[in-house]
C-alpha cells in the first residue's frame, strides 16, 4: 500500500513542488529586468518531460503519473512564456522550446493518431520520455564548467535540485512496486545526477548576489 499508493500520492505533490520551484526566482527576475545566473534551459526540457509523461500515463492508464505531470506541463508553459515575453532569454532558448514542442507533437501524432508501430506505443513513449527525463534531471549540469571556472554554484538552481532528489526517491519506490523500469530507471539516474549537483553546491557555495 505504501509503495503503490502513498509514495505516488506524495510524489504528485512533490513533483508539483519541483516544477514550481523556479516561480519565485522568475518573478524576481522579471521585476529586476535581468535573469542573472538563472538557468532557463530546464524549463524547455520540463515541457517535453511533462508532455511525454502525460502521454505515457494515457498509454498505461496511470492516474498518478498524469496527476504528477499535468500541473508541471501548465507551469512549464508559464515559465517559458514569462521568460520569452520579458525579452530576457536568448533566441537559442526560444528555439529550444519550439524544438521540444515540435518533436513531441510529431511523436504523439505518429504514435497516437497515425498508429505507427501499433502495439508498441507504451514502449516507444516510455523510452523517449526516459531520454527526456534524463535531460531534465541533468540540464543544470550544463553549467558545471561555469561552476568550476567561477568557483560558484550560482548557475545551479538549488531549490529545484533539492526537490528533484526527493521527488526521484518517491518515484523510484513507486516504479519498483509496479516493477516498471520506465518509471524507476530514469528516476534512479536522476537521483544520482541530483546528488552530483547537490555536491557541487556544497563544494562551491553560491554568492549572495545570485
| Each residue's pLDDT tens digit, 3-60 | 778 888 888 988 888 888 888 888 887 777 777 667 778 888 889 999 999 999 998 8
Catalogue the long-range contacts made by 78-85 (C-beta closer than 8 Å, 24 or more residues apart): 79/22, 79/23, 79/26, 79/40, 79/43, 79/46, 80/40, 80/43, 80/44, 80/47, 82/26, 82/30, 83/26, 83/35, 83/40, 83/43
Residue 33 lies inside a defined structural domain of this protein = yes
**What's the confidence (pLDDT) of residue 32?**
76
Residue 210 lies inside a defined structural domain of this protein = no
Residue 209 lies inside a defined structural domain of this protein = no
SS3 40: coil
The structural domain count of the chain equals 1
Mean pLDDT of 184-208: 82
Looking at per-residue pLDDT, the higher value among 67 and 82 belongs to 67
Residue 152 lies inside a defined structural domain of this protein = yes
Q: Which domain holds residue 36?
A: 2-203
Whether the CA torsion 63, 103, 76, 150 is positive or negative: it is positive
Place 157 in a pLDDT band, splitting at 50, 70 and 90.
confident
Residue 133 lies inside a defined structural domain of this protein = yes
Residue 208 lies inside a defined structural domain of this protein = no
Residue 92 lies inside a defined structural domain of this protein = yes
Q: Is the pLDDT of residue 201 over 70?
A: yes
Amino acid at each position: 500500500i505504501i509503495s503503490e499508493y502513498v509514495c505516488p500520492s506524495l510524489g504528485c505533490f512533490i513533483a508539483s513542488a519541483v516544477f514550481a520551484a523556479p516561480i519565485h526566482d522568475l518573478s524576481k527576475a522579471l521585476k529586476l529586468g535581468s535573469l542573472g545566473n538563472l538557468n532557463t534551459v530546464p524549463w524547455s526540457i520540463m515541457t517535453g518531460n511533462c508532455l511525454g509523461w502525460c502521454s505515457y500515463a494515457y498509454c498505461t492508464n496511470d492516474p498518478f503519473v498524469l496527476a504528477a505531470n499535468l500541473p508541471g506541463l501548465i507551469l512549464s508553459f508559464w515559465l517559458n512564456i514569462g521568460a520569452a515575453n520579458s525579452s530576457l532569454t536568448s533566441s537559442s532558448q526560444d528555439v529550444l522550446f519550439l524544438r521540444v514542442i515540435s518533436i513531441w507533437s510529431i511523436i504523439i501524432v505518429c504514435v497516437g493518431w497515425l498508429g505507427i508501430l501499433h502495439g508498441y506505443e507504451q514502449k516507444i513513449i516510455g523510452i523517449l520520455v526516459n531520454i527526456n527525463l534524463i535531460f531534465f534531471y541533468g540540464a543544470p549540469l550544463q553549467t558545471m564548467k561555469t561552476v568550476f571556472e567561477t568557483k560558484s554554484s550560482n548557475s545551479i538552481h538549488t531549490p529545484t535540485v533539492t526537490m528533484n532528489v526527493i521527488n526521484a526517491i518517491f518515484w523510484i519506490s513507486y516504479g519498483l512496486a509496479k516493477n516498471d523500469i520506465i518509471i524507476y530507471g530514469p528516476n534512479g539516474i536522476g537521483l544520482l545526477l541530483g546528488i552530483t549537483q547537490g555536491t557541487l553546491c556544497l563544494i562551491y557555495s553560491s554568492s549572495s548576489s545570485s
